[in-house]
Amino acid sequence: MTATAPSESWPQRPLPAAMIDALKTRFGERCSTARAVREQHGRDESPFDVPPPDAVLFAESAEEVAEAVALAAAHAVPVIPYGAGSSLEGHLLAVSGGLSIDVSRMNRVLRIEPDDLTVTVQPGVTRHQLNQELRHLGLFFPIDPGADASIGGMCATRASGTNAVRYGTMRENVLALQVVTAEGTRLRTGSRARKSSAGYDLTRLFVGSEGTLGVITEVTLKLYPLPESVSAAVCSFPSIDAAVRTTIAIIQLGVPIARCELLDPNAVRAVNRHDKLALPEQPMLLMEFHGSEAGVREQAEAVQLVAQEHGGADFAWAVTPEERTRLWTARHRAYFAGLAQRPGCRAVTTDCCVPISRLAECIGRAVADVEADGLPYFMVGHVGDGNFHIAYLVDPEQPAERERAEALNERLVRHAITLDGTCTGEHGIGLHKQGFLLEEAGADGVALMRRIKAALDPRQIMNPGKIFRA
């Protein structure tokens, strides 16, 4: 079984000229077949090199999305939803040709209900934009995958990031969706009620479906009050195991830590160079606490004690917003800082998530493997969730390096699955991890997913070739 998607070509289903004509007549300039536009919509951070979509539609409303999907259904050609283009697993690639529907112009925050702590947005709203628009109300949306992703795309990949240990992932924070089905019908899943037992959980079915069941055209999210007090701290550890043991103890104590990120010495080194910081180049936890002033102080004291018991040292606080922003910006830039360590390289990034008791073991073996191999790498982890990313830095001119990186990832994923973990904590399956999904969910599990896909998208027009092949 191969870790990456099969290299054989996908069946081609290009848009017929009649459909392009119909789109151009209906949408004018907003339907583009210009090569540059198509190529911009046919590329992402993933390594696959496939032809771009046949056309791109810049949709401005759910009605327009529904019209375009109905047209694609009539011609039985693929539709690929496109948000901010920041996904990592080949979700956007038009492997069978087709129409890319770009929803980035559907970027309005439609309704904020402060009393209910809910907001309804169009799918092209990005998380930075959303938090900008919420700030004056004392509210925020915590899910933070690093990139300034679109909310629609974050739903589609079931994204999470640094705040998930306290606030959950998109799975826990989407209340309702409006979707356009594969027939071009607009449908509402869920309501603004915070809980419901009304039939099958269609919302959770579409969250994480990677555009393969329909196009997300509206999202209702849970919001949170901005904490009265926030503080961040860094602490260095003699080993990754000590940092993970500290995290386990913090969570078992019931400390409601908001962020708990692990950086390996390579990541710390990269961040130091890139952001002119002077952090000790050892395994490091980067933490954040949210609450009342007294609550944050209490959390911090408890954590400091636990860290000391596990050999944590150089505990340093960032209390002012500027210091905090500097630290978290550095964390968020770790990916690019890490890439900059090897000019011209590309990263092959892992995304395993395991039960936290197995995390040190899982990371330990992966680090030993890559050290033995010799490829440059760095590691960052959402350690409170058991999720971590190793970035193997490969020279794109050296195909053998990519193969070595893929082999390392494959060993890591197999190990994670034996530890009752998953091959992807937050990036999704896309094209990359279809073989791993089969190992993780089993042939029967994937068969059941395929039956759902066939029931909801019988013509296989919605982002075909992603998660699994038809």
- Interface with a second copy: number of residues (CB under 8 A): 90
Of residues 262 through 291, those in contact with a second copy by CB under 8 A are 291
Provide CB contacts within 8 A for 328, sequence distance 6+. Answer: 162, 232, 286, 288
In the block, tokens 């994923």 appear at 413
Nearer of residues 48 and 224 to a second copy, judged by Cβ: 224
CA distance 89 to 87: 6
Residue 361 touching a second copy (CB under 8 A): no
Q: Torsion angle, CA of 44/449/159/258, rounded to 10 degrees?
A: -150
CA angle 121–90–35, rounded 5-degree value: 85
Which of 24-32, 61-69, 245-253, 308-316 is the region at the interface with a second copy (rule: CB under 8 A)?
245-253
Of residues 167 through 206, those in contact with a second copy by CB under 8 A are 168-169, 171-172, 181, 185, 187-189, 191-202, 204-205
Least distance (Å) from a second copy to the CB of residue 74?
19
Residue 426 touching a second copy (CB under 8 A): yes
CA distance 234 to 272: 13
Q: Torsion angle, CA of 141/423/79/47, rounded to 10 degrees?
A: 100
Nearer of residues 213 and 287 to a second copy, judged by Cβ: 213
Q: At what angle do helices 434-456 and 399-418 cross, to 10 degrees?
A: 80
Of residues 213 through 232, those in contact with a second copy by CB under 8 A are 224-225, 227-228
Which of 32-40, 65-73, 331-339, 438-446 is the region at the interface with a second copy (rule: CB under 8 A)?
438-446
Provide CB contacts within 8 A for 407, sequence distance 6+. Answer: 3
Nearer of residues 70 and 277 to a second copy, judged by Cβ: 70
Which of 54-62, 66-74, 96-104, 250-258 is the region at the interface with a second copy (rule: CB under 8 A)?
250-258
CA distance 133 to 112: 9
Least distance (Å) from a second copy to the CB of residue 44?
16
Among 252, 308, 325, 329, contact with a second copy (rule: CB under 8 A): 252
CA distance 447 to 451: 6
Nearer of residues 37 and 73 to a second copy, judged by Cβ: 73
Of residues 445 through 464, those in contact with a second copy by CB under 8 A are 445-446, 448-449, 451-452, 454-456
Which DSSP helix (H) or strand (E) runs through 418? helix 399-418
Residue 110 touching a second copy (CB under 8 A): no
Q: How far does the chain reach from its first CA to its final CA, in angstroms?
A: 17
Least distance (Å) from a second copy to the CB of residue 411?
18
Structure tokens at 247: 């995290």
DSSP state of 359: H
E strand spans, 310-448: 313-318, 346-349, 377-382, 387-394
Least distance (Å) from a second copy to the CB of residue 457?
10
Least distance (Å) from a second copy to the CB of residue 316?
24
Which of 49-57, 153-161, 273-281, 334-342 is the region at the interface with a second copy (rule: CB under 8 A)?
153-161
Among 32, 100, 122, 157, contact with a second copy (rule: CB under 8 A): 157
**Residues 28, 33, 39, 45: is their CA dihedral positive or negative?**
positive
Q: At what angle do helices 17-27 and 62-75 cross, to 10 degrees?
A: 160
Q: Torsion angle, CA of 264/379/1/87, rounded to 10 degrees?
A: 160
Which of 13-21, 100-108, 368-376, 429-437 is the region at the interface with a second copy (rule: CB under 8 A)?
429-437
Least distance (Å) from a second copy to the CB of residue 246?
12
Among 74, 251, 319, 407, contact with a second copy (rule: CB under 8 A): 251
Among 104, 160, 163, 178, contact with a second copy (rule: CB under 8 A): 160
CA distance 353 to 428: 12
Strand-strand pairing, 55-58 and 99-102: parallel
Least distance (Å) from a second copy to the CB of residue 202?
6
46 to each of 85, 96, 213, how far by Cα in Å? 11, 17, 22
Among 386, 435, 464, 465, contact with a second copy (rule: CB under 8 A): 386
Among 422, 462, 464, 465, contact with a second copy (rule: CB under 8 A): 422
CA distance 179 to 457: 13
**Residues 11, 92, 463, 441: is their CA dihedral positive or negative?**
positive
Residue 414 touching a second copy (CB under 8 A): no
Residue 309 touching a second copy (CB under 8 A): no
Least distance (Å) from a second copy to the CB of residue 422?
4
Nearer of residues 448 and 470 to a second copy, judged by Cβ: 448
Of residues 325 through 354, those in contact with a second copy by CB under 8 A are 351, 353-354
CA distance 278 to 31: 50
Residue 207 touching a second copy (CB under 8 A): yes
Decide if 230 contacts 269 (C-beta within 8 A). no
